[in-house]
Structure 1
Amino acid sequence: MTQESLISIVLCTYNGEAFLQEQIGSLLQQSWKNIEIVVSDDHSTDGTRSILSKYENDPRFRITYQQKNLGAVANFEYAAGQANGDCIAFSDQDDVWLPGKIEKLYGAIGDSLLVYSDSELVNEQGASLHKKISGLRKLGNTNDTRGFVFSNVVWGHAMLVKRELLQHVLPIPQQIPHDIWFAAKATALSGIVYLDEVLTRYRQHSKTVTTTIAQKTTTRPHEKRFIDFEEKLNWINILKHNCGDAERPFYEKLYDLFSLKANGKFVMPLFLFLLKHQAALFQFTNKSLLSRVVEIRKLSRGEQR
């Protein structure tokens, strides 16, 4: 890859008229000029199409208007598959990118398949919430996928990936967010790189798909807890089949022990296993050792339908 490399920006839209114009403006102000902006609109019913229509004759844009609503995952997979760049960045419809974002991420990716950066959280009006993702998570380089079992450190809007990663991550497994899936898979294949710089103003509002600031949780009914358990077990199984050889025994053991939760009883062997590997499992969090033990205790309790 050279300074002339084409970089694709994939932008999926759906009823995003409130913030879309500002975001497109920030994409066009990137210091890296050899870009294509691949847009797939998922059959919006508001003014989104009117905003996009202004760029239909701009050679930097390739815009598709879906004839029916595909849903977020299918629309994302379609858009990602249209990208021609050597590297690909993923844009939400409601954020604001700083001008040097693409150039700086490209310069930092090195031999990795994925690089990501820090973000500043802003409110609906774009005013700073005086929080950064780096204040909520421990961001950094890693080649250890175990941190993704119960947490995440890479958001889709903050990453740049090499095109070759797509052949390993598409299609996206059902019910798995694309950002954690891309990050975990890239970690297993090449390790991931963190650029310690705020490059995105990450808007938080009522329609935000991903919750970044931790919310207080209420007690979940048994049925919901069991569904969550099944989803987590499925995720562990996916990681087991996509990790490196060195990590596979860990995931095989974790899957077997986590499965025992379905008996409805506290699983002491799981508690001890999680405690043994707590440093790797909680590598992305700021939890104290005591908080980790409390969390591990919750994770080891039995679940019933």
Structure 2
Amino acid sequence: MTSKAHVTVLMSTYDGENFLRDQIESILNQEDVYVHLIVRDDGSKDRTINILEEYQSRGKLEWYSGKNLGSARSFLNLVSKSPDNEYYAFSDQDDVWFSKKLKRAIGYFESSNDTNLPILYAGNYILVDKDLNKINKSLRHVTTTTLANAIVYSCCTGCTMVFNKKLRDLIKKYNAPETIYMHDDWIHKVCLAVGGKVIYDSHPMMFYRQHENNVDGGTHTFWSKVNRIKLDKNLMSGQIKEIYKAYNKNIPINNKKIIEKALILGKGNLLKRLRLAFSSQYKIRSNTKLNNEFRLLLLLDRW
């Protein structure tokens, strides 16, 4: 890294008083980058806003509040209000970042030959309990990096994400989608759909804290994810359809074909859905579990 990069860190809070200070301090202690921390409180009823006000009075962050939108839309609201900067990163309210987390991510951007593209970095993490003790050591997290794989499942964790201004500008132009699974899922798919680049870093650079008040954590079971999607039929295909419509002018021809094929087969009769379910083009070769979830949703006509 030739000079210090400027990163706007976007955090959404909701009743996060128990672990918020740990996370804020880990962000403020990032090495070799200039950090601008902006927080949106999503309607907290505990002492979260008191903590935020304390840090703001010391000039350490800026914060604002709004009605409860839920995690996904709260983060997109942050993007819509974010100032121009070189890079952007998402932060949960209860994790702990390693001191070189942002520096490592920016290094990937600076070594890339595709700086004219929208670029999204997604990293790895170490799952820990509320006291930062390691858990679920066998969990293997991998982010999908092709559009066809992202249609099966994005597998991109928001609290690890760093993205450049080109991607931020695209997200900001259409920041209130009607159909959205999660903010990270939306941004990941948009990046790949418009021909952007996704970088996955397998080296963990943060503790991803799991506790009883997590909005969305890293220990999903097969059925918990399927049941969530079943509550809103066609959530995943609806999200892809909306991305296709919103960013149609930005999507390359080859990517349009990938999306169109998935939508035609995925919303067809059982035979067509089976063709998509077992298509080698859309198969995630590194994760059989995600392929099986995709297939089940197609068979149930819930994709």
Q: What's the TM-score bracket when you normalise by the shorter of the two chains? A: 0.7 to 0.9
* Aligned-pair CA distance for 1:201: 0.4
Equivalent in the alignment of 1:235:
239
Rounded to whole Å, the distance in 2 between the matches of 1:260 and 1:44 is 43
Deviation larger for 232-241 or 145-154? 232-241
Deviation string, structure 1 residues 47-76 (Cα, Å, up to 9, x no partner): 11121122123334112233x434434432
Contact 1:149–1:281 (CA under 8 A) maintained in structure 2: no
Rounded to whole Å, the distance in 1 between the matches of 2:72 and 2:46 is 20
Show structure 1 runs of 5+ residues with no match: 262-266
| 1:275 counterpart = 2:246 | no
Deviation string, structure 1 residues 227-266 (Cα, Å, up to 9, x no partner): 54421331232354455321322322321222235xxxxx
The alignment of Structure 1 onto Structure 2 pairs a total of residues equal to 286
* Aligned-pair CA distance for 1:172: 4.2
Q: Tell me the TM-score normalized by structure 1.
A: 0.82
Contact 1:136–1:286 (CA under 8 A) maintained in structure 2: no
Rounded to whole Å, the distance in 1 between the matches of 2:53 and 2:133 is 28
| 1:187 counterpart = 2:169 | no
Equivalent in the alignment of 2:37:
37
Partner AA of 1:41 in structure 2: D
Percent sequence identity over matched residues? Answer: 23
Rounded to whole Å, the distance in 2 between the matches of 1:300 and 1:233 is 10
Rounded to whole Å, the distance in 2 between the matches of 1:295 and 1:78 is 30
Contact 2:6–2:34 (CA under 8 A) maintained in structure 1: yes
Rounded to whole Å, the distance in 1 between the matches of 2:29 and 2:86 is 20
- Check 1:248–1:284 CA distance in 2 against 1; reply closer, same or farther (3 A cut): farther
RMSD (Å) for aligned C-alpha atoms: 2.9
Equivalent in the alignment of 2:15:
15
Rounded to whole Å, the distance in 2 between the matches of 1:124 and 1:210 is 14
Partner AA of 2:212 in structure 1: S
Partner AA of 2:119 in structure 1: L
* Aligned-pair CA distance for 1:159: 0.8
Contact 1:137–1:285 (CA under 8 A) maintained in structure 2: no
Rounded to whole Å, the distance in 2 between the matches of 1:76 and 1:36 is 16
Of 286, 298, 301, the match for 2:299: 301
- Check 1:302–1:158 CA distance in 2 against 1; reply closer, same or farther (3 A cut): closer
- Check 1:254–1:31 CA distance in 2 against 1; reply closer, same or farther (3 A cut): same
Of 169, 172, 185, the match for 2:171: 169
Q: Tell me the TM-score normalized by structure 2.
A: 0.82
Partner AA of 2:29 in structure 1: Q
* Aligned-pair CA distance for 1:173: 2.0
Contact 1:169–1:181 (CA under 8 A) maintained in structure 2: no
* Aligned-pair CA distance for 1:129: 0.5
- Check 1:51–1:70 CA distance in 2 against 1; reply closer, same or farther (3 A cut): same
- Check 1:236–1:43 CA distance in 2 against 1; reply closer, same or farther (3 A cut): closer
Contact 1:40–1:65 (CA under 8 A) maintained in structure 2: yes
* Aligned-pair CA distance for 1:119: 0.4
Contact 2:14–2:41 (CA under 8 A) maintained in structure 1: yes
Map 1:192-231 → 2, pairs under 5 A? 192-215=198-221, 217=223, 225=230, 228-231=232-235
Show structure 2 runs of 5+ residues with no match: none
Equivalent in the alignment of 1:159:
161
* Aligned-pair CA distance for 1:130: 4.5
Greater Rg by CA: 1
| 1:258 counterpart = 2:260 | no
| 1:90 counterpart = 2:94 | no
Partner AA of 1:79 in structure 2: L
